[in-house]
Chains A and B, each alone.
Chain A
C-alpha cells in the first residue's frame, strides 16, 4: 500500500476482531431485513410492488446506517492525531497535506465501502424477487456512495477545527443532521413559494440524501407533503454533493499544515484587569462576560455542578444565554408566522416543527453533555482526585446530573413562549401543549439517563459519546424507518408498536402532525420511556458504585 495512512487506518482496523464482529452483525442485519419481509404466500406479485417495498426499506435502512455510523471515524481522525501529538510527527514526514488527506479520506471510504459491499447480497436478493430494475439498484448505491463522500469530507473538515474528539463527533452529527433533515425544513414550511426563494429552497432540499433517496424510491419526497415532484432531486443531489466534496476537500487540505498545532497557550486574559471601555464593549457583546473573574462556590452549592458548568463550553453563561435566546426567538418566530400564514400552516404543523427542533436539540446536545459524566473524569485523571475528596460518589454524580438537567431545562423553558403564543391563538391547543411538554420532559429524561448510563461503561470520552449517540439516534431513527414503510410493507399495528419507544413520534402524535395523528402513542410511550429511564438510572448507579469502590 503506497499511502502509509491507509495501511494504518484501514488495514489495521480491518484486522481487528471487533471489525469482524461488526461485519458479521451487519451482514446478519441485512439478511434479517430481507428475510422478514420476504413474501411467504404461494402467489407471485407480477407487478413487483412487494419487492419494491422490501427494497425501499432496505435502502432506507442502509442510508440510516451510513448516516448514523459513518461520521465518527472521520470526525475523530484528525483531532485525535492532534491531541495525541502524532499530527506533528505526520506533518514532519515527507507526506504532503493532500496525501495525508487522501490517506484519511480513502481509509474512511474503505470502511464504508465494506459496509456497502456487505449489503450487496441483500440487494441482489431484492433484485431476484423481481420488479426492480438494475438502474434502481445502481442509483441507490450512487446516492449511498455520494452520501459517504459528503459525510467523510465534511467530518474531516470539522475535525480540523475541533479541539477534542467528542466536540468533533458532536459537531459532525450536528452537521449531518442539518444537511439531512434541516435543509428540507424550508421546503416543508414554504411549500409552493415561487421565484428566487422557491428555487433556493428547492436546491437546498436537494442537499439532503434522505430527500434524494425518497425521491428515488417513492412518489413523494421528504417535505413535499405528499405532492409528486417534477424536479430531478437525485441529479441535483449528485451535483451539489460533488461540488461540496471538492470544496470541503480543498478546504481541509489547506488547513492540514503546522498552523493546526502552532497555537500559543492561552494566557488567561481577565476582563476585570482591562480598561473600562473594553469591559463595557465586551459586556454589551456577551452580557455575561466569559472572561470575567468568577465568584467563589457558595456554601450550599454542589461544587461538582459548578465545576461542570465552568469547564464545558455550553455551561458558560454567555453560551447558555445565546442558546436560550436562539430557542426563544425561533419558537416565537414560528408561532408568529402561524398567525400570518394560517392558510398554508395550521397550528399542528407549527407545533410539529417546534417538536422537531426541540427533540433535535435534546438529541444533539444531551449525549454530549451526559455521556462523559464519568468517562471524562476517568480519562483525565479527575476521578481519582474526586475520590480523594470527602465528597461521596453520589454527590459527585448528582452534581453532574444536575448540571445536565439545568441546561436542558433552560433550553426547554426557552421554547415555552412559542407554545404559550400558540395557546393564546388557539386555546383549544392547551391540552395538546401540556401533553407535548410531558413528552419532551420524558424525552429529555430518557436521553439523559440513557447517555449517562451507556457512557459510564467507557474509560474514554470519545467512546462514551459515540456509543451514547449511536444508541440515542437508533432509538429515535429506527422506529421512524419503520414508519416510512407504513402501509407497505408494515401495517398500522406494527408501526404503532415500533413508534411506542420513539420519543419524537409521541410528540408528533400528540400535536396531531400529519402522518402521526392516526397513532395512539401516549400514555404508553410515557410508561415505556419512564421505565426505561428508571432502568438506565439503576444501571448508572450500579456502574458508578462499581468504578468508585476500592479495588
Chain B
C-alpha cells in the first residue's frame, strides 16, 4: 500500500510542531511536543484517553492557543494566522455535527458557502467530493438519519469541499463496522495518493498500522515515540512477548505458577480456554531455554513455545502501561484473559 503512494510523498515538511506546550492551570495537556510531517504522508497519532491528542489537533486547527511553542502548516502559523489555516486544513472532529431536517446536499452546500466557494464552483465541487467519497447516492438523505459509517463519509466529503492541503481526522474509524472500516481505510489511502497530508487519530491500532507512514505515540502530553511502525516496533523489542501453547487447558494454572516464580516482575497472561500462557520479558535466549526446561521438567505438556511479533498494539501498550501504573492503576502481573 505504502509503495503505491511513495510517488506522492515528498520530503517537503507540511506540519512542523516545535516545543509545543499547552497547560490548563496546573495540568499539562501537551508537554514540549515536537513533530514534523511531510507532504502526502499519513501520520497516526495514538495514545490513551487524555493523552493530549485532541489538544494537539485543536492547536493545529486554531481552536486552541498553546502556552508556548509553535505549530505551522505549510508555513502558516496555526496561532497567529488561524483564518488562513482554515483554508489549508480540513478538520473532522470525532463528533459528526449533524443538523435536523437537512439533506446531505444541503449540508455540503452550507459548508461550501461557509468556505466562501463561489456558487458555480461549489455545485461542481459538491458533485466531485460526493463522487470521491461514494456518497452520491445519499445526496437527498437527511444527515440526521444517516448511519454512522455514512455520516463519517459525509464528514470527509465536507472537509474536502475547499480542497485543503491537509486533512485532520479525529477518530474516523470509531464505531464503524468491519466493512465500513475497510472502506474508510481505502478512502484515506486514496486521499493520500492524491497528495493530501493526513493526520489521523484512532484507537483501532491495526487500522493505523496498515495506512500510516508515521506513527506518534503520546502519553501524558509527551511524545513517547515517533517514526514508522517498524521503527517504533523495534524500540519495544527489548520487551518480548512469549506465548506458551499447551496441549490442554488444565495445566495453564500450573504453568503460570512456575512462570511467576521464575519471572516475579514479568506480566503473565493466562487463557484456560485457549490453553495458552503469555509472558513479557527482556531476558536473553539462554534464560528462555531455562524457562522452557523448567516447564517441561514439571511435566507441563508444552505444544509450542514461541515469540510473538511485536505490532503497533504491543508498542502502544508498552508506552501506555507505565502511564496507567503512574496513575495508580493496579499493576497486573498475572491476569486471566
Indicate if B278 sits at the interface (CB-CB under 8 A): no
Q: A307-B110, A310-B102 are in contact. Are A296 and B119 (CB under 8 A)?
A: yes
Which residues on B sit within 8 Å (CB–CB) of A164? 100
A33, B115: Cα distance in complex, Å: 55
B114 touches A296 (CB 8 A): no
Apart from A268-B140, A294-B106, A388-B61, 20 more pairs, CB < 8 Å: A268-B145, A293-B105, A293-B140, A297-B110, A298-B119, A301-B113, A303-B110, A306-B110, A311-B102, A316-B101, A380-B97, A381-B96, A381-B97, A387-B63, A389-B115, A390-B87, A550-B58, A550-B65, A551-B58, A551-B65
A382 touches B101 (CB 8 A): no
Question: Which residues of chain A (369-390) have a CB below 8 Å from chain B?
Answer: 380-382, 384-390
B141 touches A311 (CB 8 A): no
**Chain A residue at smallest Cβ distance from B100:** A311
A388, B84: Cα distance in complex, Å: 11
B119 touches A384 (CB 8 A): no
Indicate if B306 sits at the interface (CB-CB under 8 A): no
A381 touches B95 (CB 8 A): yes
Which residues on A sit within 8 Å (CB–CB) of B103? 268, 294
Q: A310-B102, A311-B99, A380-B97 are in contact. Are A388 and B119 (CB under 8 A)?
A: no
Other-chain contact of A380, B61, B98, B115 (Cβ < 8 Å): B98
Can you offer 5 A-B residue contacts whose CB atoms are under 8 A?
A268-B142, A296-B122, A297-B113, A301-B113, A385-B93
B111 touches A550 (CB 8 A): no
A265, B58: Cα distance in complex, Å: 33
Which residues on B sit within 8 Å (CB–CB) of A297? 109-110, 112-113, 119
Closest Cβ of chain A: how far from B141's Cβ, in Å?
A: 4
Which residues on B sit within 8 Å (CB–CB) of A384? 63, 91, 93, 95, 97
**Chain B residue at smallest Cβ distance from A301:** B113
Question: Which residues of chain A (349-394) have a CB below 8 Å from chain B?
Answer: 380-382, 384-391
Give A254-280 as 1s and 0s: 1 = Cβ < 8 Å from B's Cβ atoms. 000000000001111110000000000
**Chain A residue at smallest Cβ distance from B99:** A311
Indicate if A495 sits at the interface (CB-CB under 8 A): no
A311, B101: Cα distance in complex, Å: 5
Counting contact residues on chain B (CB < 8 A from A), the size range is: 35 or more
B97 touches A385 (CB 8 A): yes
Which residues on B sit within 8 Å (CB–CB) of A296? 109, 113, 119, 122-123
Give B46-83 as 1s and 0s: 1 = Cβ < 8 Å from A's Cβ atoms. 00000000000010011111000000000000010011
Closest Cβ of chain B: how far from A378's Cβ, in Å?
A: 10
Q: A297-B119, A381-B93, A387-B63 are in contact. Are A303 and B99 (CB under 8 A)?
A: no
Q: A303-B114, A389-B114, A390-B115 are in contact. Are A550 and B62 (CB under 8 A)?
A: yes
Give the total of A residues in contact with B, Cβ under 8 Å. Answer: 36
**Chain B residue at smallest Cβ distance from A386:** B114
Closest 4 CB pairs of A and B: A381-B95, A303-B113, A381-B97, A389-B114
Q: A296-B109, A299-B119, A551-B58 are in contact. Are A388 and B89 (CB under 8 A)?
A: yes
Indicate if A312 sits at the interface (CB-CB under 8 A): yes
**Chain A residue at smallest Cβ distance from B94:** A381
B116 touches A390 (CB 8 A): yes
Which residues on A sit within 8 Å (CB–CB) of B142? 265-266, 268
Closest Cβ of chain B: how far from A465's Cβ, in Å?
A: 14
B positions within 8 Å CB-CB of A: 58, 61-65, 79, 82-83, 86-87, 89, 91, 93, 95-103, 105-106, 109-116, 118-119, 122-123, 138, 140-142, 145-147, 158
A299, B102: Cα distance in complex, Å: 20
Closest Cβ of chain B: how far from A539's Cβ, in Å?
A: 24
A304 touches B114 (CB 8 A): yes
Q: A270-B140, A303-B114 are in contact. Are A550 and B64 (CB under 8 A)?
A: yes
Indicate if A313 sits at the interface (CB-CB under 8 A): yes
* Interface of chain A, main secondary structure: loop
Which residues on B sit within 8 Å (CB–CB) of A391? 114
Give A420-440 as 1s and 0s: 1 = Cβ < 8 Å from B's Cβ atoms. 000000000000000000000
Tell me how many residue pairs across A and B have CB atoms closer than 8 Å: 107
A551 touches B111 (CB 8 A): no
A268 touches B86 (CB 8 A): no
A307 touches B102 (CB 8 A): yes
Other-chain contact of A550, B82, B101, B123 (Cβ < 8 Å): B82
A391, B111: Cα distance in complex, Å: 10
B100 touches A312 (CB 8 A): yes
Which residues on A sit within 8 Å (CB–CB) of B62? 388, 550
Which residues on A sit within 8 Å (CB–CB) of B79? 550
A311, B99: Cα distance in complex, Å: 6
Which residues on A sit within 8 Å (CB–CB) of B109? 296-297
Closest Cβ of chain A: how far from B173's Cβ, in Å?
A: 18
Which residues on A sit within 8 Å (CB–CB) of B97? 380-382, 384-385
A297, B62: Cα distance in complex, Å: 27
Which residues on A sit within 8 Å (CB–CB) of B86? 388-390
A312, B144: Cα distance in complex, Å: 13
Which residues on B sit within 8 Å (CB–CB) of A267? 141
**Chain B residue at smallest Cβ distance from A263:** B145
A384, B158: Cα distance in complex, Å: 13
Other-chain contact of A268, B87, B113, B141 (Cβ < 8 Å): B141
Question: Which residues of chain A (278-331) have a CB below 8 Å from chain B?
Answer: 293-294, 296-299, 301, 303-304, 306-307, 310-313, 316
Other-chain contact of A385, B83, B106, B111 (Cβ < 8 Å): B111
Which of A301, A306, A381, A388 is packed against the most chain B CB atoms within 10 Å? A388
A387, B146: Cα distance in complex, Å: 23
Closest Cβ of chain B: how far from A365's Cβ, in Å?
A: 17
**Chain A residue at smallest Cβ distance from B22:** A551
**Chain B residue at smallest Cβ distance from A385:** B97
Which residues on B sit within 8 Å (CB–CB) of A316? 101
Which residues on A sit within 8 Å (CB–CB) of B102? 307, 310-311
**Chain B residue at smallest Cβ distance from A164:** B100
A38, B98: Cα distance in complex, Å: 56
A307, B96: Cα distance in complex, Å: 16
